[in-house]
Structure 1
């Protein structure tokens, strides 16, 4: 029988899932939240008891009004605490494609998202916050190589050296 008190005493880490969706021209779909600056991949927080993949699918359906074809996970990025109550987070990025018909069918929730755009991968830093932009080339590499990459704050860690501190 598990020691419930022991498990309840363990630290918890926030999780998020995002969809790296490319159109037939290789452009990245970004969405613009109404509650923060910058453009982001569709996605959001993993709810209690929910898998990262299930969260990604749910968030796409909620944010875009559709479920894109996802081909696999391409990145796990540990994001450090960002101050003012923003905890560390493990972000799972799933890659897939989005068709012209799906793009035309996107229905954004107006209380959460104010727009969407397709941008060439090299233009993502013009739109996205730095930690998101840093993650993009690594996620695209993982997508091209059909494997997942591990990042810390959008950067490949120097294995064999001390990792980033959590606070």
Structure 2
């Protein structure tokens, strides 16, 4: 039986993109969303996991870079498998972490190179500013936080 060289085997494996986001709420339970200047819709503070980072480290880094805050990265709320779409030919795995509460956006300093705005939204309000795939993730995160159990979406 012929063996496949390790390099060839690894090159044949499915490639995925990993990203991490921060689920942050205000005292009323609304979720902090940001408006990137490179997208038409709103989303969570967060981004791609860089080489050598864990998803938790990427989440913490992105909170600092995008919001100018240092917040604890808490429990994992949602793991979301997102198939390829548009110009991204590979699937993505998104990790959404519970990063606690923030009274009224106190102390947020937006990263002006990437973000135009931030605001707190209820899930129903988010329907107007996010695509359905992201509002499904938002609702799953609300449920996961309430139940204390990780949700998986695909």
TM-score where L is the length of structure 2: 0.89
Cα distance, 1:84 vs structure 2? 2.7
Q: Distance in 2 between matches of 1:10 and 1:121?
A: 37
Superposition pairs of residues 122-161 of structure 1, within 5 angstroms: 122-152=124-154
Structure 1 unaligned runs (5+)? 153-167
How many pairs were matched up? 150
Matched, 1:35 2:22: no
Does the 8 A contact of 1:68 with 1:98 survive in 2? no
Q: Secondary structure at the match of 1:62?
A: helix
1:13-162 mapped onto 2 (5 Å cutoff): 13-100=16-103, 103-152=105-154
CA contact (8 A) 1:69 1:98 kept: no
CA RMSD across the alignment: 1.7
Larger mean Cα displacement after TM superposition, 19-28 or 3-12: 3-12
Cα distance 1:108–1:86, how it changes in 2: closer, same or farther (>3 A)? farther
4+ runs of 1 displaced by more than 6 Å? none
Q: Deviations over 1:85-130 (max 9, x none)?
A: 35310000001223327x2211111110000001122211111122
Q: CA–CA distance in 2 between the matches of 1:50 and 1:140? A: 26
The question of 1:10 aligning with 2:20 is answered: no
Gaps of 5+ in 2: none
Kindly provide the CA deviation profile for residues 48-73 of structure 1, in whole angstroms up to 9, marking residues without a partner as x.
12111111111111000012233300
